[in-house]
Amino acid sequence: MGIRVAVAGASGYAGGELLRLLAGHPEFALVAATAHSQAGSHVTAVHPQLAGLDLTLSPTDAAGLSQADLVFLALPHGQSAAIVAQLPESVKVVDLGADFRLRDAALWERYYGGAHAGTWTYGLPELPGQRELIAASDRVANTGCYAATITLALAPLIAAGLADPADVVVVASSGTSGAGRSAKVNLLASEIMGDLSPYKVGAHQHVPEIKQATGATSLSMTPILAPMPRGILATVTARFAKEGNPRDVLAAAYADEPFVHVLPEGAWPHTAATSGSNSCHLQATVDVDSGRIVVVSALDNLGKGAAGQAVQCANLMSGLPETTGLSVFGVAP
Amino acid sequence: MGIRVAVAGASGYAGGELLRLLAGHPEFALVAATAHSQAGSHVTAVHPQLAGLDLTLSPTDAAGLSQADLVFLALPHGQSAAIVAQLPESVKVVDLGADFRLRDAALWERYYGGAHAGTWTYGLPELPGQRELIAASDRVANTGCYAATITLALAPLIAAGLADPADVVVVASSGTSGAGRSAKVNLLASEIMGDLSPYKVGAHQHVPEIKQATGATSLSMTPILAPMPRGILATVTARFAKEGNPRDVLAAAYADEPFVHVLPEGAWPHTAATSGSNSCHLQATVDVDSGRIVVVSALDNLGKGAAGQAVQCANLMSGLPETTGLSVFGVAP
Amino acid sequence: MGIRVAVAGASGYAGGELLRLLAGHPEFALVAATAHSQAGSHVTAVHPQLAGLDLTLSPTDAAGLSQADLVFLALPHGQSAAIVAQLPESVKVVDLGADFRLRDAALWERYYGGAHAGTWTYGLPELPGQRELIAASDRVANTGCYAATITLALAPLIAAGLADPADVVVVASSGTSGAGRSAKVNLLASEIMGDLSPYKVGAHQHVPEIKQATGATSLSMTPILAPMPRGILATVTARFAKEGNPRDVLAAAYADEPFVHVLPEGAWPHTAATSGSNSCHLQATVDVDSGRIVVVSALDNLGKGAAGQAVQCANLMSGLPETTGLSVFGVAP
Amino acid sequence: MGIRVAVAGASGYAGGELLRLLAGHPEFALVAATAHSQAGSHVTAVHPQLAGLDLTLSPTDAAGLSQADLVFLALPHGQSAAIVAQLPESVKVVDLGADFRLRDAALWERYYGGAHAGTWTYGLPELPGQRELIAASDRVANTGCYAATITLALAPLIAAGLADPADVVVVASSGTSGAGRSAKVNLLASEIMGDLSPYKVGAHQHVPEIKQATGATSLSMTPILAPMPRGILATVTARFAKEGNPRDVLAAAYADEPFVHVLPEGAWPHTAATSGSNSCHLQATVDVDSGRIVVVSALDNLGKGAAGQAVQCANLMSGLPETTGLSVFGVAP
C-alpha cells in the first residue's frame, strides 16, 4: 500500500493543499488527517475542492498519527513540540510550522515568544548540501513561505560574494492564503479586494530565519498583503560586494534543479505562472540608477512555500525521486 | 513512446491548458504544438506557467500535425474544417471549437455564419450512451464550456420527465478566460475587476447546442462575464413537468461518474472548488416561492469546459482509462 | 448649522458609506455616530478611508441620537424597534434595516423570525406616488439592496401589464459588502477571490419584500456572491402578459428620474459603472429563443442599494432637493 | 457660467476621472472634451460610469480647446507640445503627461526619446513653496503617479537631513489603470487577476522625475503591476543620514495639508482607503534589523496621482480654494 502518511492540521489552507497533493501522489497513502474544531467533519465540508475524496477528519492525537510512517504537521506555531513528543521515534516528521527552524533560541523567544523547541534539519533542498541532509533526516523543519521565496533569490549571491550581506532590502507581497484561514475582519474579501496593505512593517518574525538561511547580516523586509489568493512576489535588492553578473550566478546555482527556474533574459517572474505548482521563478538584473542588484522571485506560498516543499522533503526522506507527485507547471490563467 | 498527440492552436488559453495536461499525461506524448502569430516562439514566452517545458511552437500545417496519432484542435471558430480536410483519415481528431457540434445546418449558419462543416460525435461522455459512441469515434466535437455546464445540470431532469423542456431559464457567469486571449479594451483588467457585465443578452450562439444536448425546446440564457480568470457558474431553473426530487434524479444519473459530483444536501457548488480540475459540481432544490426546479452547476471552463473534457474524450478514443492524466480535485483557495 | 443628523450603527459598511456621504453633504450636519463594540474608537480606526474626519464613535443610546433632527439606523435586523421606541416622535428616522418594510406580519415572522415591528413608508422614491409619501413621512423604511435592484427593473413592467406577475425568474449577484462586515470564514478573501458562490438558494428572505414592491405573485430568486467589493447585477426575466416593448416602458417610467438610467439600446448595465454613485442602470430586451422579457439592472449595493438611497429619502423628508449630496456618476475603473 | 475648462484626451482613464471630477466641480464649466479615435462618440459609450452626462467627444484641435480658460491635457507622452503651441498664451494649461516635467533635457531624451519640450512649474502643491509657484503659473506639469506617491513620502526626509539621498530603495505597486487603456494581452483581466508582475525592472522612466522632486541622488525603484484597478502603494526605504524620528518629520511637514495624512502611530496606509479620493496616506518607522527608515505611501493613481492632482493645481491657478470639487475621503470598501 505504499508509504503511510498522515496530516495533522488538515483543515487550514496548507493542510488542504497537502491533502490535494497526497491524493495524487503515487507512493504515499494517506492514513489519517486530523483537525481541531473540524474533527468529525467530512473533508469536503472543509475543503469543497476535494469532492470525490472519501475522508473524515479525526482529532489530533498521537495514537492516530502513529499509524503513519511519516507525519506532516501543519499546526499553528508553538504546537508542534507537544505532539512530536508523543510520536514514536520511528515516525518521520515534516513540520510546516516555524517551531524547529531557528538555531538561535533567543531569537525564537524574541520573535515568537515561548520556549524554543529545538532545531531540525532545514527543509530547503536547493541549498548546497541540504538535499543530502534532508534525505538522511527523520525530522525536517519546512521553510516558511517568505523565507523560501527570498532565500532562493539571495543565498547564491551571498555565497558567491556578489551581494553584500550587510545591505539587503526586501519588499515581498503575499496572497491572502499566507495569512491563514482564521475569521478576521481585516482578511474579509470586502477589505482585501482592490487593496494592498503592508503589515508588521519594520519587524517581521521571518527575518531571523531568512538571515540564517541566506547568510545576510542586515536585512530590511517589508511584507504586503495582496489581493490574490495565492503567490508571493519578492523584490530582493542588495549592494554589490564585488563585481559580477547576478543572473549568471543564479543560473549556475540552479542549472540542475527541477523546481527552480531562472527565466530567459528579459522575462520577469510573476506569481500566477507558479500557482498550483512547486516551482520558483527567478530573474536578476542591475539597477541602472543605483547600481544595486535586483532579484525578483515568485512562487506559490501554498506550493513551494509550504505543502509542495513539504512533499519534496518527504520524498527525499522516503527515498523516492524528489519530484514524485509534484507539478513543475502552474495553473494559469 | 506512447500515443503521439498534437495541439493546433496552442497559444490561446485552452491551448495552454491542453499543454499543461498533456505534459503531465502518462500515455500521451506531445509531438507538435502549433500557433499562428506565435509560431517560432518558445512555449514559455507564450505560457510562462510552463517554465521547464522545452517546446517551440510551430506553424499550423497539416504536415506537422499528421505525425500525431491524435490531434486536438483549439482554433478560432470556422477554421477546423480546412485543416481537418488535409489530415489523413487515420489521425483521430478532437475539435474544441464549435464547428462540428450542431446537427442543424441552418442554426449553424444563423448563429455562427458561414457554411456548416458537418456533425461529429458530441464529446460529453456523461450523456447516456455517449461514452461508447466517443470511444468508437475518430472525430469528436468537444462541448462548449457553457453547454457542458448547463447540459450536465439539465439533461437528466428533462430525460426523467421532471423538467419542462419548454420552460427553462438559465443565467450563467463565466470567468474571463472563456472570452479568449484577444487584446480587447472590454477585457482589460481595469474594466473587469470589480465588475459584472452581461453580454449577448437575448441571443447567445450556444443556445442551439444546449437545446440539442439537453432536449430543451425553449431556453432563455443570459451570459455574464465575472471578475475571475476561470470558472462557470450556471443557475438553471425549469418548471416541473411532473413531481419528483431533482436532486435524486441527478444523484442517480451521476452515481458512477468520476468527474460529476452531486454535492451533499445543503452544500452548493462554487467555481473555485473546481478550478484546475476536470470536475463538475451540482446541487438542486425546489424554489419555495415559485415552485420551480433550481439547479446550480459549476466547473472550470478551461478544464471540464474545454481542455480537460478534450483529454477525457481522447482517453476514450485511445482505449485508455477515461481519467488518465486528469485531476478530480480543484486547486483552492 | 443645517439639519442635524445622526447615524446609529456606523461601524458597518453601510454605516461607513453613510458617514462618507454625510461628510460631503452641504445641508446635513453630523452630530453623532454610534457603534456597539467599536464605541469609543476614532472613526478612522474603523473606516480608514475617512482619514481627515475628526469623529469618535459613541455608544448607541437614545439620548445621543435624540440630539438629531433625523436619525439613520444601520443596525442588524431586529434591533430598530427598540431604539425607535426611545426616540422622541419629533425625530425623523430612516431605517436601513428590514424591520419596517413588510406589510404582512406572518411573512416577517416566517422569513426573519421574531415579532413584526410594524410597517413604515417604503423608501423607494421612484415608485409612482412614493416620492410624495416619503416627503410627508417621519418614518421611512429604506429598501433592501436586492429589492431596490430588482424592483426598479420589474415594477413598471408589471404595472404596465407587460410582464406576467406570476412568472418571474431572477438571478442576482452581489458584491461582498452586501454580506456585511462580520468575521466569517466563508467571507474571507481567500475563499471569495476567483469564486462565484450561490447562497440561500430556493428561499431568500428578500423575496416577500420584492413581491410586495413589484406586484409579482410568483418569483424565483437565486442570489450569488461575486468576487467584488460592491455592486449588484440582477437578471430579471418574465413571461409576456401582453405584447409590448419592455425598454420603452422602462424609458417612459424613468424619463425624469435623476438616478435611474435606461441605457442606450445595445448598451448593457454593468456594476462597476455604478460604483460609488446613487445611480441604477437598466436595459431590457426580448430573448430570441424563449420569447421572455429580459431586464438587467445594476447598482451599488452600498449606494442606491443602501446609504445613497437613505440620503435620498432623508433629503425628501427634510424638504431638500432630492439629489443633494449624492453623485450620479460612478467611480470607474 | 464659471471658469471654462476643457479636457484633451478624455477617452483614457485619467481623462474619464477628470470628467467625473469636473462634472461635480462647482466652479469649473466643461466646454469641450476631446478624443482621437473616439471623437464623435457620446461620452457614455466610452465612460459608462458617466451615464446622465450629456456630452459628445470632439476631435482634439486647438480651435475647440481655445474656447476654454484652462485646458487639461491627458495625452500620450510626447503629444503635448504640438497642441500647446497652437493655444493662445492666455489659455492656462495643466499637462498630465510627462513632457514638461524634467529640467534635464538629456535625461528626457534618454528615458523618453524625442526632443525635450521644455520645463514647466512642477504640479505638486505640497512641496515647500510650490503652492505659490503653481498659483502664479499659466503652465503646470502635473506629477506622475509614481512620482507623487514617492515624493510625498521622501522629500521631507531628505530636506530635513534624515534620509541619505544616496541610498534610497523603492518598491512600488500600481493598479492597472496606471498602465492605461490600451488593448494589450498582458493587461487582460485573465492575465492580471491573481497575479503580481514586475516590469521595467532596473530602469523605470520615472526615476529622473523622482530624483528631481525629492533631491535623491541614487534611487533603486522596482515597479509592480497589482491585481486591482486603482491605487499605488510605495515602500520607500533609506539609510539614516542623521538621527531623528521620520514620522515626526512627515507629520510636521504635512500638519496643515488637507490631502496628505500621516496616519496615527501603528496604522499603515493601504490603497483602498484612498480610492476615489485626492488623499495620500503616509506612515513611517525604523526597521528593527537594518536600521533603515521605512515609509509607506498610498494614493489613488487616478486621483492624487493624476486627475485629482490636476484639478488641485487648476484650482490654485484659478484663484479658487485648493480643495474645491475634490474629496478627502475614499470610497471603500
Domains of chain B with bracketed CATH: 3-143+304-317 (3.40.50.720), 146-301 (3.30.360.10)
**Under 8 Å between Cβ of C47 and C41:** no
For B36-49, b where at least 16 C-beta lie within 10 A, e where not — what string?
A: eebbeebbbebbbb
Radius of gyration of chain C (CA): 19
Q: Which chains touch D (3 or more CB pairs under 8 A)?
A: A, B, C
Q: How confident is the model at residue D238 (pLDDT cuts 50, 70, 90)?
A: very high
- A267 and B48 within 8 Å at the Cβ level: the answer is yes
CB contact under 8 A, B188 and D176: yes
Grid cell listed for C180: 456585511
Cβ A207 vs Cβ D208: under 8 Å: no
CB–CB contacts below 8 A, A to D: 178
CA-to-CA distance for A179 and A195, rounded, in angstroms? 15
- Residue A28 C-alpha from the chain's centroid: 20
Report pLDDT for A77: 87
Tens-place pLDDT, residues D15-56 = 999 999 999 999 999 999 999 999 999 999 999 999 999 999
Per-residue pLDDT of B292-332, as tens digits, reads 999 999 999 999 999 999 999 999 999 999 999 999 999 99
The yes-or-no verdict on residue D1 having pLDDT over 80 is no
D65 burial via Cβ count (<10 Å: 0-12, 13-18, 19+): buried
pLDDT at C313: 98
Closest chain D residue to A291 measured between Cα atoms? D220
Helices of type H across chain C: 13-23, 43-46, 62-65, 80-85, 105-111, 130-135, 145-159, 189-192, 207-214, 246-253, 308-317
Mean pLDDT by 10 residues, chain C (333 residues): 93 98 97 96 98 96 95 94 95 97 92 90 98 98 97 98 98 98 97 98 92 97 98 98 97 98 97 98 96 98 98 98 98 97
How close D58 gets to chain B, by Cα (Å)? 21
For A178-203, how does the pLDDT look when each residue is reduced to its tens digit (9 = 90+)? 999 999 999 999 999 999 999 999 98
Distance CA B33, CA B50 (A): 13
Q: Which residue among C198, C229, C286 sits closest to B202, beta carbon to beta carbon?
A: C286
Q: Determine the pLDDT at residue C203.
A: 85
Is A289 in Cβ contact with D207 (below 8 Å)? yes
Q: For A167, which residue in chain D has the nearest alpha carbon?
A: D290
H or E segment at A34? strand A28-35
CB contact at 8 A, C284 and C247: yes
Q: Shortest CB distance from A23 goes to which of B20, B53, B329? A: B329
Whether residues C188 and A183 touch (CB distance < 8 A) is answered with yes
* Active-site position among C145, C162, C284, C320: C145
**pLDDT of D114 higher than 90:** no
Candidate list A10, A84, A117, A145, residue with the active-site label:
A145
User: Who among A171, A207, A289 is closest to D218 (CB)?
Assistant: A289
pLDDT greater than 90 at residue B183 = yes
Residues D247-296: tens digit of each pLDDT: 999 999 999 999 999 999 999 999 999 999 999 999 999 999 999 999 99
pLDDT of residue D77: 87
Could you give the CA distance from residue C276 to residue C260 in angstroms, rounded to a whole number? 15
pLDDT tens readout for residues B107-126: 999 988 888 999 999 999 99
Q: Give the angle C218-C222-C224 at the CA atoms, nearest 5°.
A: 160
Touching chains, C (3+ CB pairs < 8 A): A, B, D
Closest CA to A310 of A2, A97, A29: A97
Q: List pLDDT tens digits, range A206-222.
A: 999 999 999 999 999 99
pLDDT above 70 (res D301): yes
Q: What is the mean pLDDT of residues B155-160?
A: 98
Chain C interface residues (partner A, CB cutoff 8 A): 13, 175-177, 179, 181-185, 187-194, 227-229
Tell me the backbone φ, ψ of residue A165, rounded to 5 degrees: -65, -15
In chain A, which residues have their Cβ closer than 8 Å to the Cβ of D111? Answer: none
> Which of the other chains make 3 or more beta carbon contacts under 8 angstroms with chain A?
B, C, D
pLDDT given for residue B1 in this prediction:
61
Handedness of CA B168, B172, B178, B182 (dihedral sign): positive
State whether B328 and A52 contact (CB < 8 Å).
yes
Q: Is the pLDDT of residue A55 over 90?
A: yes
Q: Which residue has the cell 521565496?
A: A149
* Shortest CA gap D200–chain A (Å): 9
Could you give the angle at the alpha carbon of D63 between the alpha carbons of D61 and D67, nearest 5°? 120
For residue A1, what pLDDT is reported? 60
Cell numbers that stand for B129 in this block: 450512451
B257, pLDDT greater than 90: yes
pLDDT on residue C293: 98
- The amino acid present at D35, given as its one-letter code, is A
CB A270 within 8 A of CB A332: no
Residues from chain C contacting residue D44 (CB–CB below 8 Å): 263-264, 267
Name every residue in B having a CB less than 8 A away from some CB of A: 13, 16, 20, 23-24, 42, 44-45, 47-53, 176-177, 193-194, 229-230, 258, 261, 263-264, 267, 270, 272-277, 279, 281, 327-333
The neighbouring-strand residues paired with C168 are C219, C238
Say if the Cβ atoms of B189 and D229 lie within 8 Å: yes
Backbone φ and ψ for B9, nearest 5 degrees, come out as: 90, 50
Which chain C residues are within 8 Å of A189, Cβ to Cβ?
Answer: 176, 187-189, 191-193, 227, 229
Candidates C196, C230, C287; nearest CB to B270 = C196
Chain C's closest residue to D257, CA to CA, is C52
Q: Say if residues A276 and B54 touch (Cβ distance below 8 Å).
A: no
- Chain C: residue nearest A176 by CA? C190
Pick the closest to residue A179 from A235, A232, A119 (CA basis). Answer: A232
Which set of grid coordinates corresponds to residue A300? 506559490
pLDDT of residue A279: 98
Shortest CA gap C120–chain B (Å): 24
Q: Diameter of chain B by CA atoms?
A: 60
Report the SS3 class of residue C272.
helix
| Chain B hits for C202, Cβ within 8 Å | 285-288, 294
- CA B164 to mean position of chain CA atoms: 25
Under an 8 A CB cutoff, do C185 and A183 touch? yes
Mean pLDDT estimate for chain A: 97
DSSP structure string for A9-30: STTSHHHHHHHHHHHT-SSEEE
Q: Do C263 and D51 touch (CB under 8 A)?
A: yes
Query: Please, which residues have CB within 8 angstroms of residue A100's CB and are 6 or more apart in sequence?
Result: A80, A117, A118, A119, A120, A139, A141
Check residue C1 and give its pLDDT: 61
The answer to whether the beta carbons of residues C190 and D293 sit under 8 Å apart is no
Question: For A292, what's the count of Cα atoms within 13 Å in the CB-facing half-sphere?
Answer: 28
**Type and span of the H or E element at B155:** helix B145-159
- Cis ω for the linkage preceding A333 (within 30 of 0): yes
Enter the ipTM.
Answer: 0.96
A145 annotated active-site: yes
Looking at beta carbons, which residues of chain D come within 8 Å of C329? 20, 23-24, 49-53
From the list A100, A103, A143, the residue with the least C-alpha distance to A125 is: A143
